Amino acid sequence: MINAQEPIADKKSSLPPPSRKGFVTNYPPFRQWKNTEGEEISPAAPINIYVHIPFCLQRCAYCYYKTNELRDKRSYLDRYVNAVCREIGLAASQFHLGERSVASVYFGGGTPTVLKQEQLEQITECLHQHLNIGTPEFTVEAEPVTLTQKKADTLKKLGVNRISLGVQSFSDEILGICNRLDNEEKVRKSIDLAQGTGAAVNIDLLSGLAGESTETWKYTIDRALAAGAESITVYKMELYANTDYYKSLRRKEIVLPSDEQELEFMRYALDRFAQARYLPWCFFTFTKNGQYKNIYASTLWQGADCYAFGASGFGNMGSYLYQNTNDDKKYMELAEAGILPVNRGYRMTGLDEIIRTVMLGMKLVQFDLKAFQRKYGFRLESLCFSVLEKLASENFITLSEDEISLTEKGILYGDYTGKCLAGPLMDMKQ
Ligand SMILES: C[S@@+](CC[C@H](N)C(=O)[O-])C[C@H]1O[C@@H](n2cnc3c(N)ncnc32)[C@H](O)[C@@H]1O
Ligand code: SF4
User: How far, in Å, is the centroid of ligand 1 from the Cα of 54?
Assistant: 12
Q: Which of 205, 206, 209 to mutate to test the pocket of ligand 1 (most atoms within 8 A of CB)?
A: 206
Report the pLDDT value the prediction gives residue 161, as an integer from 0 to 100.
Answer: 98
Which ligand ends up closest to the CA of 112? 1
Residue 66: pLDDT band (50, 70, 90) is confident
Instruction: Give per-residue pLDDT as tens, 298-334.
Output: 999 999 999 999 999 999 999 999 999 999 999 999 9
User: How far, in Å, is the centroid of ligand 1 from the Cα of 166?
Assistant: 6
> Helix (H, G, I), strand (E, B), or coil: what is residue 411?
helix
List of E strands, 13-88: 47-53, 55-56, 68-69
Give the residue from 292, 113, 291, 277 showing the smallest Cα distance to 190.
113
User: pLDDT above 90 covers what percent of the chain?
Assistant: 90
User: How far, in Å, is the centroid of ligand 1 from the Cα of 63?
Assistant: 6
Which ligand ends up closest to the CA of 58? 2
All residues at 6 or more sequence positions from 36 whose CB lies less than 8 Å from its CB, including other chains: none
pLDDT at 2 over 70: no
Neighbour-count burial for 309-335, b at 16+ CB within 10 Å, e otherwise: bbbbbbbbbeeebbbbbbebeebbebb
Distance of CA 49 to the CA centre of its chain: 12
CA 353/CA 375 separation, integer angstroms: 11
Report the pLDDT value the prediction gives residue 164, as an integer from 0 to 100.
Answer: 98
Instruction: Give per-residue pLDDT as tens, 215-264.
Output: 999 999 999 999 999 999 999 999 999 999 999 999 999 999 999 999 99
Beta carbon of 206 within 6 Å of any ligand 1 atom = yes
pLDDT at 285 over 70: yes
Residue 10: pLDDT band (50, 70, 90) is low
What's the CA dihedral at 290, 294, 298, 304 to 10 degrees?
150
Give all domains of the chain, ordered by start, each with its CATH number.
47-300 (3.80.30.20), 349-430 (1.10.10.920)
Beta carbon of 76 within 6 Å of any ligand 1 atom = no
pLDDT at 213 over 90: yes
Question: What residues flank ligand 2, with Cβ below 6 Å?
Answer: 56, 59-60, 63, 65, 67, 109-111, 143, 166
In degrees and rounded to multiples of 5, residue 206 shows phi and psi of -120, 125
User: How far, in Å, is the centroid of ligand 1 from the Cα of 169?
Assistant: 11
Whole-structure pTM value:
0.94
